[in-house]
């Protein structure tokens, strides 16, 4: 099951902090993957994603939680520096990057504020909840913007995304370190069920063979979790009595 092309990777947060971070990562990835707004349909997808991101950022203390995690990761690296034979160059390099990300995030304006104040984004957000509310007669400003030269639209998008860079860089580094903290191990579920302890973990990562056509339903929190494997075809699908899969507790 080590061939990634033959497996499906699932990730499940074990606390609200990680749930929020994964959602923000998901939305940022979409924004960066649809930067060339060459058609109105693509542009509306981009603006819906921006609106979703701003809604998520309104909830909770995202900046505070990320700064705490950046500090926690620095302390973990400090402990690693005391282990004989550790690559100190790599440890110092990572600690320096963490400090840079923290300083950039701390000095940045309120996250998403520049996007909230942008006139075009604000106008589009007001119409997104209305079915068909982004027609040219509803949003002539957007209609006109879609007819300016592509390089001007690209410049606007680049400027919008630049305001999110402190968040993007800090979150990417934090999630990379969290994911690397847990190794995948072979596990077996019996009759589609598996449970274990998750003391101090933030994230579960599962690899399941694509051929099984199964997905996990996971319930859990910071101390314990349970996994129930379900067939994609709810009527005809079969769950093996003994199912091999890979699991990382991060």
Average pLDDT of the segment spanning 201-223: 91
What pTM, to 2 d.p., does this model score?
0.92
Which two structure tokens, joined as six digits, stand for 108? 């940045």
> Secondary structure of the chain: what % helix, strand, coil (to 5)?
55, 20, 30
Euclidean distance between CA atoms 227 and 192, whole angstroms? 8
Query: Do residues 14 and 203 make contact, with C-beta atoms less than 8 angstroms apart?
Result: yes
The model's pLDDT over 13-61, given as tens digits with 9 standing for 90+, comes to 999 999 999 999 999 999 999 888 999 999 999 999 999 999 999 987 8
Sign of the alpha-carbon dihedral angle for 43, 44, 45, 46 = positive
Label residue 2 by pLDDT band (50, 70, 90). low
Q: Give pLDDT, residue 59.
A: 83
Give the Å distances, CA to CA, from 156 to 7, 30, 35, 112, 152: 38, 17, 10, 15, 6
The model's pLDDT over 179-209, given as tens digits with 9 standing for 90+, comes to 999 999 999 999 999 999 988 899 999 999 9
The label of the residue with tokens 């940022």 reads 28
Q: Give pLDDT, residue 27.
A: 98
For each of the domains in the chain, give its residue range(s) and CATH number, in order of start: 34-181 (1.10.3900.10), 185-249 (2.60.440.10)
Which two structure tokens, joined as six digits, stand for 237? 């699908």
Judge whether residue 236 has pLDDT over 70. Answer: yes
Judge whether residue 174 has pLDDT over 60. Answer: yes
The CB-based long-range contact list for 180-187 (8 Å cut-off, 24+ gap) reads: 180/250, 181/250, 182/248, 182/249, 182/250, 183/248, 184/246, 184/247, 184/248, 185/246, 185/247, 185/248, 186/1, 186/244, 186/245, 186/246, 187/244, 187/245, 187/246, 187/247
The model's pLDDT over 72-122, given as tens digits with 9 standing for 90+, comes to 999 988 887 777 777 788 888 999 999 999 999 999 999 999 999 999 999
Q: Give pLDDT, residue 87.
A: 78
Distance of CA 60 to the CA centre of its chain: 16
Judge whether residue 4 has pLDDT over 70. Answer: no
Euclidean distance between CA atoms 44 and 52, whole angstroms? 12
């Amino acid at each position: 099951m080590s061939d990634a092309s033959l497996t499906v990777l699932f990730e499940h947060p074990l606390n609200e902090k990680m749930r929020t971070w994964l959602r923000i990562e998901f939305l940022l990835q979409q924004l960066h993957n649809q930067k060339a707004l060459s058609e109105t349909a693509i542009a509306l997808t981009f603006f819906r994603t921006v609106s979703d991101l701003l809604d998520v950022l309104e909830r909770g203390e995202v900046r505070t939680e990320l700064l705490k995690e950046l500090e926690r990761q620095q302390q973990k690296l400090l402990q690693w520096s005391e282990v004989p034979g550790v690559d100190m160059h790599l440890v110092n390099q990572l600690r320096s990057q963490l400090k840079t990300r923290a300083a950039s995030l701390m000095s940045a304006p309120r996250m998403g504020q520049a996007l909230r104040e942008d006139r075009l984004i604000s106008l589009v957000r007001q119409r997104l909840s209305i079915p068909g509310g982004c027609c040219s007669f509803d949003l002539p400003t957007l209609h006109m913007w879609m007819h300016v030269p592509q390089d001007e639209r690209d410049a606007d998008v680049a400027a919008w995304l630049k305001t999110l860079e402190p968040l993007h860089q800090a979150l990417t580094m934090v999630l990379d370190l969290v994911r690397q903290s847990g190794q995948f191990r072979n596990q077996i579920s019996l009759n589609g069920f598996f449970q274990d302890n998750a003391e101090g973990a933030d994230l579960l990562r599962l690899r399941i063979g694509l051929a099984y056509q199964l997905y996990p339903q996971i319930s859990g929190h910071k101390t314990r979790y349970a996994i129930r494997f379900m067939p994609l075809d709810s009527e005809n699908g079969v769950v093996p009595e003994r199912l091999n899969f890979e699991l990382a507790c991060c």
